[in-house]
A = this chain, B = another copy of it.
């Protein structure tokens, strides 16, 4: 097991606040709460004050479960609406304002992201958080600007060893899902039935290994549908046939941490051209994974995959990036593994490596792993026991 030694999470956050002359950050988006404290909310309406010079203070609604609250954080409850309290948010707002005032912190010294754009879902993931409530806080947090928000996004890039362990656990669960994918590749089974089986085994992991939340989003595309795998991912009612390529795109969230994996596999014997495409994509993906390491540019990693695919004249069918950051979200912010991208990989970064090629109207293939950059190379976090060597 490899180790990474980026600065501790509190140290990274303090440096960010100092560089942006902020004395506090107000966070409420589920991915921000996980990144800042390891806490995944149930309801999506918790607010954290992350002070530059004091222990973080988390306000949770009275209805929130109390059994997975974060360590090293002060916790207060605020009322919930409905029968007993008509306006819980004004009480919450007043409590946050009071805390900032007691610390002598002015609004221009507080940063915040108001929008839930590209955030993750809380545990009750059937519903978006009501971020209208977040706009109330703008009067307390006017210190955000493009520079500070970019600096905040950069905090997602370098995962600490503890966070890497959480992301190892997601990948372990995702791999249980991928084994169910392999096991269900039988003629006559529908794409949706395969996806349902994968999501089901992921969900069943709750209660094991300290897992209190585990959910997968599996999207399975077979035969000609796999040719659309570079455009969109979804599962239809199409039933698998012998000779199909079948692509699974699998997002998994465990306790608030994410993995993003793809496998492509055959049903029965493949026609030779489809088998060649799958071999090409597999080899391109391995080449790019092998190239991942500290101080390597994203452009170089991209080219390792793209050049192999181009050598067969298939680069016009490889229509997307080779990878992106992952871990606090299905797609973390940060630079892409992309042509001409000069950014360099650093220890603690976790990126997807996911080249693909999609022949219109025929079939497509993509292989995707999640790869940790270590001090001296890389570690593939997504070991899949059913992978063929």
**Interfacial chain B residues near A319, Cβ < 8 Å:** 82-84
Q: Is A200 an interface residue when CB atoms closer than 8 A count as contact? A: yes
Q: Is A234 an interface residue when CB atoms closer than 8 A count as contact? A: yes
Are A204 and B193 neighbours in the complex by a CB distance under 8 Å? yes
**Interfacial chain B residues near A130, Cβ < 8 Å:** 117-118
For A65, the closest partner residue in chain B by CB is B232
**Interfacial chain B residues near A126, Cβ < 8 Å:** 217, 251, 253, 330
Which of these binds chain B: A205-213, A264-272, A279-287, A375-383? A205-213
Are A115 and B127 neighbours in the complex by a CB distance under 8 Å? no
Number of interface residues of A (CB under 8 A): 67
Q: Considering the chains assembled together, what is the distance between the CA atoms of A129 and B207 in angstroms?
A: 30
Pick the contact of A124: B43, B200, B208, B219 (CB < 8 A).
Answer: B219
For A67, the closest partner residue in chain B by CB is B236
Q: Is A32 an interface residue when CB atoms closer than 8 A count as contact? A: no
Are A117 and B128 neighbours in the complex by a CB distance under 8 Å? yes
Are A320 and B206 neighbours in the complex by a CB distance under 8 Å? no
Q: Is A313 an interface residue when CB atoms closer than 8 A count as contact? A: no
Q: Is A42 an interface residue when CB atoms closer than 8 A count as contact? A: yes
Give the interface SS of chain A, mostly helix, strand, loop or mixed. loop
Q: Is A228 an interface residue when CB atoms closer than 8 A count as contact? A: yes
Pick the contact of A204: B62, B131, B190, B201 (CB < 8 A).
Answer: B190
Q: Considering the chains assembled together, what is the distance between the CA atoms of A42 and B229 in angstroms?
A: 13
Q: Is A233 an interface residue when CB atoms closer than 8 A count as contact? A: yes
Binary contact readout A144-183 vs B (1 if CB under 8 angstroms, 0 otherwise): 0000000000000000000000000000000000000000
Q: Considering the chains assembled together, what is the distance between the CA atoms of A205 and B197 in angstroms?
A: 13
Among residues 87 to 107 in chain A, which have CB atoms less than 8 Å away from a CB atom of chain B? none
**Interfacial chain B residues near A275, Cβ < 8 Å:** none
Q: Is A125 an interface residue when CB atoms closer than 8 A count as contact? A: yes
Q: Is A63 an interface residue when CB atoms closer than 8 A count as contact? A: yes
Indicate whether A232 sits within 8 Å of B124 (C-beta atoms), given known contacts A83-B319, A204-B190, A207-B237: yes
Q: Considering the chains assembled together, what is the distance between the CA atoms of A207 and B115 in angstroms?
A: 35
**Interfacial chain B residues near A253, Cβ < 8 Å:** 126
**Interfacial chain B residues near A62, Cβ < 8 Å:** 231
Are A127 and B123 neighbours in the complex by a CB distance under 8 Å? no
Are B128 and A320 neighbours in the complex by a CB distance under 8 Å? no
For A218, the closest partner residue in chain B by CB is B203
Q: Considering the chains assembled together, what is the distance between the CA atoms of A376 and B118 in angstroms?
A: 45
Pick the contact of A119: B42, B128, B190, B231 (CB < 8 A).
Answer: B128
**Interfacial chain B residues near A121, Cβ < 8 Å:** 121, 128
Are A196 and B207 neighbours in the complex by a CB distance under 8 Å? no
Are B232 and A204 neighbours in the complex by a CB distance under 8 Å? no
Q: Is A371 an interface residue when CB atoms closer than 8 A count as contact? A: no
Q: List chain A positions with a Cβ less than 8 A from chain B.
A: 42-43, 62-65, 82-84, 115-121, 123-132, 135, 190-193, 195-197, 199-201, 203-208, 211-214, 217, 219, 228, 231-238, 251, 253, 319-321, 329-331, 339
10 new A-B pairs (CB below 8 Å) besides A117-B129, A124-B219?
A115-B115, A115-B131, A126-B330, A191-B207, A193-B204, A196-B204, A203-B235, A206-B235, A208-B237, A213-B234
